Amino acid sequence: MSDSTTAVRPLDGVTVIEAGSMISGPTVGRILADFGATVIKIEHPAFGDHLRNFGPQKNGAGLWWKYLGRNKQSVTLDLGSERGQVVFEDLVSEADVLVENFRPGTFEKWNLGYDRLQELNPGLVMLRVSGFGQDGPYANRPGFGTLAEAMSGFAYLNGFPDRPPLLPPTGLADSIAALFSTFAVAFALYHRDVNGGSGQVIDTSLIEPIFSLLGPQPLSYDLLGEIEERSGNQSNSSAPRNVYRTKDDRWVAISASAQPLAMRTLEAIERPDLRDDPRFADNAARVANRDELDAIIQEWMDRHTREEVMARFEACDATLGPVYNVEDILADEHYRAREAVVSVDDPDVGEVRVQNTFPRFSETPGGIDFLGPALGAHNDRVYGDILGYDAETLVELDAEGVI
């Protein structure tokens, strides 16, 4: 089961308002909530976060929502209404962090720009995630992760040279931007609370974080005049590096970027004679002759099952891993030993397995208390217990469609 709700977590005492939808902003909120922050998730009263209806469903519950909405306090609020904006100001006055991923200018249209919010709360850290950032020629364009994956150079590099650029099957750019944003929030809180600084705005685009992870491409272009091209599962920097089909129609991956690892790979495939072959003597030679090397490795794989391959490579201390699907992951003893997947009981879908909190902390681990809650499940708690609104006010706000 997930960690106890009574355990001390590193962000206990931090209050976060999450006013966003879909993947990028909600992923930031999910990570902060996993590690103890009180994350108040604001959703429109009529339809909630679009994530609730995105992707696979079970018993009418969106599984993306169950994952990214976990540990959050769901409240409903119409930010487009004047009274809703007043309620939002009350919430922000009590918060440490505001996370939003609307198109730039939306919060200003609602009279909720940072200048106004900082007047109410000088220490507020406001994270703004958008497709192209808060300024620049493309700032007002609609932005989604797919566009960032295309324009960052990722899709151009991803795939095989004789096939079109390949987009990822999941929200990669959104998730990478969320990871950068999460540690940016931690940096800003450290500056405020340890260095005696003020609150500030964090401006994250979807396009820049994924671009930054693609290696020294600008350096290669400026200094060498090179534009890296698609190379499939091979690497332009090291060999062998590929996926290989085994005798029993399974797949394994090899990465042998260091010289000792490459030599162990040759031993594992029972070809120690290739160590002295000038085509494979060092990494530069192996990269130049990687197709020939892959053909030799594949011929050996054709004669062995995946279990045999893994046993042989482990015996030679060579680097190889099976290509897993989720069924493989859930059955793997290493994942189980590290409790990388835990079971959580949910009122909508029952007891179900989900990714645990990462990374692991020795003294203040994260934990999963519950999966994504029902729309507005915490209205009474947040508006009544935290903001102190009386029952009559809550009934009035509900009747007006504000919450």
Whole domain around residue 301: which residue ranges? Answer: 241-328
Instruction: Based on the fold, state whether residues 84 and 135 are members of the same structural domain.
Output: yes
pLDDT exceeding 70 applies to what percent of the chain?
99
Instruction: Based on the fold, state whether residues 200 and 64 are members of the same structural domain.
Output: yes
Q: Mark which of 328, 354, 387 sits at the end of a domain.
A: 328
pLDDT at 3: 44
In a domain, residue 311? The reply is: yes
Instruction: Based on the fold, state whether residues 257 and 374 are members of the same structural domain.
Output: no
The 10s digit of each residue's pLDDT in 272-297 is 999 999 999 999 999 999 999 999 99
In a domain, residue 79? The reply is: yes
Band of the pLDDT at 2, cuts 50, 70, 90? very low
Q: Mark which of 328, 347, 362 sits at the end of a domain.
A: 328
> What is the rounded CA–CA span in Å between residue 59 and residue 349?
7
In a domain, residue 7? The reply is: no
| CATH number where 40 lies | 3.40.50.10540
39-70 burial, b at 16+ Cβ within 10 Å, e below that, comes to bbbbbbbeebbebbebeeeeeebbbbbbbbbb
The 10s digit of each residue's pLDDT in 225-269 is 999 999 999 998 999 999 999 999 999 999 998 999 999 999 999
| CATH number where 245 lies | 3.30.1540.10
pLDDT at 7: 80
Alpha-carbon torsion (86, 90, 96, 101), positive or negative: negative
Instruction: Based on the fold, state whether residues 245 and 392 are members of the same structural domain.
Output: no
- Considering only CA atoms, which of 61, 13, 343 is closest in space to residue 193? 13
pLDDT at 6: 60
> What is the rounded CA–CA span in Å between residue 82 and residue 195?
36
Q: Mark which of 309, 328, 347 sits at the end of a domain.
A: 328
Dihedrals φ, ψ of 69, to 5°? -90, 0
pLDDT at 138: 97
In a domain, residue 373? The reply is: yes
Residue 1 has pLDDT above 70, yes or no: no
> What is the rounded CA–CA span in Å between residue 309 and residue 301?
7
Strand partners, 62: 57
Look at 2-6, 134-138, 349-353 and tell me which has the smallest mean pLDDT: 2-6
With beta carbons less than 8 A apart as the criterion, state whether 258 and 252 touch: no
Q: What is the pTM of this model?
A: 0.94
The 10s digit of each residue's pLDDT in 362-388 is 999 999 999 999 999 999 999 999 999
Is residue 90 part of the annotated active site? The answer reads: no
Instruction: Based on the fold, state whether residues 295 and 174 are members of the same structural domain.
Output: no
Q: How many domains does the chain have?
A: 2
Instruction: Based on the fold, state whether residues 114 and 132 are members of the same structural domain.
Output: yes
Q: Which residue of the set 34, 49, 78, 174 is catalytic?
A: 174
Instruction: Based on the fold, state whether residues 36 and 72 are members of the same structural domain.
Output: yes
> What is the rounded CA–CA span in Å between residue 132 and residue 18?
20
Instruction: Based on the fold, state whether residues 313 and 363 are members of the same structural domain.
Output: no
Instruction: Based on the fold, state whether residues 285 and 155 are members of the same structural domain.
Output: no
